Structure 1
Amino acid sequence: MSATTTPLLTSYRVTWAQKGIDTSHTEVCIVDSDDMTRPGDPEQLHALLRRMLAIRHLPIGYAVPDNVVLQDVAPLCNCEPYPGENCAWAEHKGERFYLTTSQAYAGSEVIHDRHNNRIVGIVSIGYSVKFLTMVREEVGHQ
């Protein structure tokens, strides 16, 4: 990173379980862009999250990333480093973008931006969640 660029902190709501144990937990993890050599690579992100969770939550002797099973990783608000803190979308769980069923196009969903009430895209139902996830990761609250 250049000296003039500040790191980007992104919050994730992570549901996980310890390998071999059925009880799941949900935590908020904050990832610093400086910790990522390949920004946007989900495999690297998941490895980083597993390492963070293992160190923080698993007992000594089990605190290795391989003992953490990620069940769900959802990006949260990136307009502030901590979710809900001065966030304009806190009442929407920190999510600026959302899906609705398209009335004009059968089999499609519409991705809306709460910021300006504009449509970001109209996408086939089969791709809408992936597209919504990409928009949230790329744009967030910027």
Structure 2
Amino acid sequence: MGTSLLTSYRVTWNAKGEDQSHTEVRVVDSDDMTRPGDQEQLYGLLRRTLAIRHLPTGHVVPDNIVLQDVMPICNCEPYPGENCTWAEHKGHRFYLGPAGVGGGYEAIRDRHDDSVLGVVRNTLSVEFLTLVREKYGHQ
């Protein structure tokens, strides 16, 4: 397998049948994922770790955890409380910038080395940027 990657997630959840929600940071190790990028497997892993940590004995079943929101925090500095390299940019490594070509285009740029990942029509640029951020995070 490749190098292990730790990613922090801000997870809002509640126990099945309860109205009270909780929010906390959970760290996921990519070595625990047999299908990297599979959202269902990620959610299952998060539910399992939350169930083990918070549910009483006899109720420690991943299906007893309802995920309300899962937000990746970053994967460059995986532990809560550490400074993220991209914190001054709201945690975003990739951003929209001028394309350097005719009007109507924007470039998806990498703050790491200011390289251009792609040039897209401005009508699609936000959607493309969102896909890049979801796929690559801070990798």
Q: Please give the TM-score of this superposition, normalised by the length of structure 1.
A: 0.71
Conserved? CA contact 1:50–1:70, under 8 Å: yes
Query: Aligned partners of 1:84 and 1:95: how far apart in 2?
Result: 17
Q: Does 1:45 align with 2:38?
A: no
Deviation at residue 43 of structure 1 after TM alignment: 0.7
Partner of 1:14: 11
Q: Residues 24 and 96 of structure 1: is their aligned pair in 2 closer, same or farther, counting only changes over 3 Å?
A: farther
Q: 2:87 aligns with which of 90, 102, 112?
A: 90
RMSD: 3.1
Count of paired positions:
129
Work out the CA distance in 1 between the residues paired with 2:22 and 2:48: 15
Distance 1:98 1:11 in 2: 21
1:66-77 paired onto structure 2 within 5 Å: 66-77=63-74
Corresponding letter in the other structure for 2:31: D
Relative to 1, partners in 2 of residues 1:135 and 1:20: Cα closer, same or farther, differing over 3 Å?
A: same
The answer to whether 1:32 aligns with 2:19 is no
8 Å CA contact 2:95–2:129 kept in 1: the answer is no
Unaligned segments of structure 2, at least 5 residues: 97-102
Displacement of 1:11 in angstroms is 1.0
What TM-score results when the alignment is normalised by the length of structure 2? 0.73
For the pair 1:141 / 2:138, whether they are aligned, the reply is yes
